[in-house]
Structure 1
Amino acid sequence: MPDITSLDSETVKIDPNLQDQEDTPDTIPGHPLGVKPSGNALLAAENLRNAIGTFSILPDELILILLEFLDGPSLLRIGRTCKAFYAFTRAEELWKGLFSWSPPTSFTWRKTWRATYLNLPLSQIPNLDCSHLYSDALHRPFYCAHISLDPFACNIPARNQIARLPDLTPEEFHKEWTDRPFILTEPVKQWPAYQQWTTDSLLEKYGDTVFRAEAVDWPFKTYVDYMRNNSDERPLYLFDRAFVSKMGLKNGHINQEPETTYWTPPCFGEDFFSVLENDRPDRQWLIIGPERSGSSFHKDPNATSAWNAVVRGSKYWIMFPSSSKLPPPPGVYVSEDQSEVTSPLSIAEWLLTFHAEARRTAGCIEGICGEGEILHVPSGWWHLVVNLEPAIAITQNFIPRGHLSAALDFLYNKADQVSGFRKDVTDPYERFVARMQEIHPDLLEQAWEELNKKNEGKKRKWDEIVHGKTEDEGPEEAEGGGFSFGFGDDSDVEVP
């Protein structure tokens, strides 16, 4: 990291009226520099934006994009030219990007990305009075970082409530619940992890262990400092796939493994990706994060289902069913092949803008998964999840028999979107089919038959639209061509 602390101007003065103030939990504090939303400029007698010269013809969002191309010293220099540019160069996303691009070997978290990058105590960072600057691009992230999540997670309509059950047997799950989200209230409470894990207990034992938190790899003690002292609109989410080996954990039912930390509830025990053994894709993650952290709308990888167990804290979930007939959730835009998903920059922004519409949308279901509870996410379901308080969770992906055909379809037809496999695992589809043919040939054949029926139905509908349905078409004409999988022989795979 360059030594640029000396570049922070010593001539600017801290306005004592803009220091941190006591606020009630439901009150959003004022921007630390006094920046106001753009609408306030309509009646303003003074606007600091007039001082930025030719740059004033550019939208604020474009100015911030241009500033992303500057390094730290350059940001500090342009920030000294006027109060408006000082406010623009204080945008936390700029410094977060610099930090992620070139992380230091050692550092102390100092509550903000800018202070951490510059290695300055907050007391040495001036807050100029920029109360005559009006910018949604600067004010919105601060506002979103301080909104209360309670109004969005409460008063859930009865029709939207995620089902809550004490527990399920494997037979009940496969018969009635494979395609439905639900929350189980009892299984997790038997885990030693539920009885023993807290942030402090993990910190004591694993403080120096390095975990993955999105774009950074930090010792756990550093992440806890960040988790407890940040004002990010989109807080970093610790999401580590190698936590079992890093923490030296044992997992398996306590009857088979006395020193186990947690185990998969029996109703989720069937997982056909297990036939790949060590060649299977990533399947389990430790998830830790502060309030407001979470995952924006997505579907789980490789057409898998998942369970998500909350060990500490609570999470709000909002979900939409998998269907080719329904559009994606409000505010979510998907490319034609569904490989790219675009949505608002942060969960808070989506909640502010689209939550009310989503709650009225057909198929929407919502719920809070509390401490000691576990939620089921069926294959293909859209879901957004946000921590209502600091939370610790474990999640695992799996393929139950009810979604085996969906996984085969995904592995074959969306090979470019398959994820989580090691680089040396080539052609995951062929490997998976070969192992299923060896271990579960009957279930594999059933899954292929389901796919063929599904795609024959699509072909018939297409033929009816294009050619019209005839009364006397024979069985051969009715079946037509369509999608089919080979069964390990020399037959061709046909895709319509």
Structure 2
Amino acid sequence: MLFLEYLDQHSLRRLGYTCRFLYAFCSSAELWKPLFLEHHTTGRFGGKWQGSWRATLLGLAVDQESKIDCSNVFSDVLHRPFVCSHLDLSRFATKIPRGNQITKLDNLSYDEFAASWTEKPFVLTKCIQDWPVFQTWTIETILKQYGDVEFRAEAVDWPFSTYHDYMKNTTDESPLYLFDKKFAEKMHIKVGREEGAAYWKPECFGPDLFELLGDERPAHRWLIIGPERSGSTFHKDPNATSAWNAVLQGSKYWIMFPPSVSVPGVFVSRDASEVTSPISIAEWLETFHDEARQLPECIEGVCHAGEILHVPSGWWHLVVNLESGIALTQNFVPKSPSLHHLSEALSFLRDKAEQVTGFERDVTDPYGLFVERLQATYPEALEEALRILDSKAAHKKRKWEEAVGAGPAEAEGGGFSFGFGGDDDDEIP
């Protein structure tokens, strides 16, 4: 299979015609999807979805594709994605152990959230019912009203009508996920507590400190649409932010772990800049779900239409659509009394600058900008958050000195320096 990855589309097509065994291998979606994305380097695709990446790239209608009987071709390489694309997701999303079940509440006030819930996952069941989009948006109504609008689906922009065709006719192990950060501008909708707004931030989450950045804040809200099996593999949200995810249609299975937990099957580089895990959600579920469910820190549950889920900053989470659906999500930095989340965001912006994402290119110093805005509006909160950062850094330094058996003078006088940042964080957009 590795050799086939080096072939261009024409060579791959011709090689597949030599025998049925090579036809089976050369027709693999795992080969044709990268070729399609490479061919559309601008990210834009205005063609027609033909039912497979191969047929779409080659412009072959369904009746033009060869029908070769490959029933006597046996290969684990071909069998694995087939099994994963036909996995029954319900067996992972049901019979959740009582101790793992995510807390479900009707609603919360901001005072309740700030006092007890900023560092815990939860689901609110009666929070978004008065949003106009909850009452009017379905996949079909979006198709009717915005079918010609181009949305971002991972690495490609295509009209929603084309993505809709893809959703209805794909056997991908990991279906493309529509995940668009500019949807409000493209759909010409208002967001916020103003007349004619399509939806607004739930009041329970209170002040979002990144709002101080105004138009210079990083990307923070997304429209999410996808078919069954689509979703996001394990990741932490960007820039040490928390998030909420509101389901308008469909249902999603979530499995989550606190920041300090080593998730089975997920391997993180020393600086937390790279996360390695199985290629697909289905493969992780099939291989590691049972083991992960046994961890005492495991939190899991299903978020249904009309419900909204809170993801605290730093928490590992995997989410998968149990059926085709629509969701809106937003990242934020809550102003909690402990200032834990503010200190984490400041730490990430300061100490992991190379991992900061979502800012426009003209914002060259996100940390400095955020500190400046905080100083002007919440100077006491900024001072306390920076004190918390200094305290954490000193604690980590002491632990290092204890580990290497060096005194303060020795540790400071060595031939190299060791920088300590904040807690691990990473993102998958």
Query: Normalised by the size of structure 2, how large is the TM-score?
Result: 0.91
1:130 maps to what in 2? 70
What is the rounded CA distance, in whole Å, between the counterparts of 1:218 and 1:444 in structure 2?
A: 43
2:308 maps to what in 1? 374
3-state SS, counterpart of residue 188 of structure 1: coil
2:353 maps to what in 1? 415
* Match 1:75 to one of 1, 12, 16: 12
Over residues 306-343 of structure 1, what are the superposed CA-to-partner deviations in whole Å (9 max), with x where a residue is unaligned? 000001000000000012xx32x110011110100011
* Match 1:282 to one of 219, 222, 225: 219
Structure 1: gaps of 5 or more residues: 1-63, 470-476, 482-493
Aligned residue runs from structure 1 range 69-468, under 5 A: 69-103=6-40, 106-253=46-193, 257-323=194-260, 326-327=261-262, 329-401=263-335, 402-467=340-405
Which residue type is aligned with residue 91 of structure 2? P
Q: Is the contact made by 2:46 and 2:159 (CA closer than 8 Å) also made in structure 1?
A: no
Residues 192 and 65 of structure 1, relative CA distance in 2, 3 Å threshold: same
Percent of aligned pairs sharing the same letter: 57
What is the rounded CA distance, in whole Å, between the counterparts of 1:71 and 1:447 in structure 2?
A: 53
2:416 maps to what in 1? none
Which residue type is aligned with residue 281 of structure 2? I
Farther-moved stretch of structure 1 (242-251 vs 103-112): 103-112
3-state SS, counterpart of residue 302 of structure 2: strand
TM-superposed CA distance for 1:452, in Å, is 2.0
What is the rounded CA distance, in whole Å, between the counterparts of 2:363 and 2:10 in structure 1?
A: 44
Over residues 242-275 of structure 1, what are the superposed CA-to-partner deviations in whole Å (9 max), with x where a residue is unaligned? 001110111112xxx1211111111223111111
Over residues 355-387 of structure 1, what are the superposed CA-to-partner deviations in whole Å (9 max), with x where a residue is unaligned? 100100131110000000000000000000000
TM-superposed CA distance for 1:151, in Å, is 0.2
TM-superposed CA distance for 1:439, in Å, is 1.2
Flag as ranges the 4+ runs of structure 1 deviating above 6 A: none
Q: Is the contact made by 2:45 and 2:156 (CA closer than 8 Å) also made in structure 1?
A: no
Residues 80 and 468 of structure 1, relative CA distance in 2, 3 Å threshold: closer
Query: Normalised by the size of structure 1, how large is the TM-score?
Result: 0.79
What is the rounded CA distance, in whole Å, between the counterparts of 2:12 and 2:225 in structure 1?
A: 32
3-state SS, counterpart of residue 239 of structure 1: strand
3-state SS, counterpart of residue 253 of structure 2: strand
What is the rounded CA distance, in whole Å, between the counterparts of 1:88 and 1:126 in structure 2?
A: 14
TM-superposed CA distance for 1:110, in Å, is 1.4
Over residues 410-446 of structure 1, what are the superposed CA-to-partner deviations in whole Å (9 max), with x where a residue is unaligned? 0111000000000111011111111111111010011
What is the rounded CA distance, in whole Å, between the counterparts of 2:300 and 2:420 in structure 1?
A: 37
What is the rounded CA distance, in whole Å, between the counterparts of 1:178 and 1:76 in structure 2?
A: 54
Which residue type is aligned with residue 295 of structure 1? S
What is the rounded CA distance, in whole Å, between the counterparts of 2:332 and 2:54 in structure 1?
A: 40
What is the rounded CA distance, in whole Å, between the counterparts of 2:298 and 2:108 in structure 1?
A: 23
What is the rounded CA distance, in whole Å, between the counterparts of 1:364 and 1:174 in structure 2?
A: 23
What is the rounded CA distance, in whole Å, between the counterparts of 2:90 and 2:420 in structure 1?
A: 48
3-state SS, counterpart of residue 14 of structure 2: helix
Which residue type is aligned with residue 140 of structure 1? R
What is the rounded CA distance, in whole Å, between the counterparts of 1:463 and 1:100 in structure 2?
A: 49
What is the rounded CA distance, in whole Å, between the counterparts of 1:495 and 1:143 in structure 2?
A: 44
3-state SS, counterpart of residue 3 of structure 2: helix
Name which one, 1 or 2, has greater alpha-carbon Rg. Answer: 1
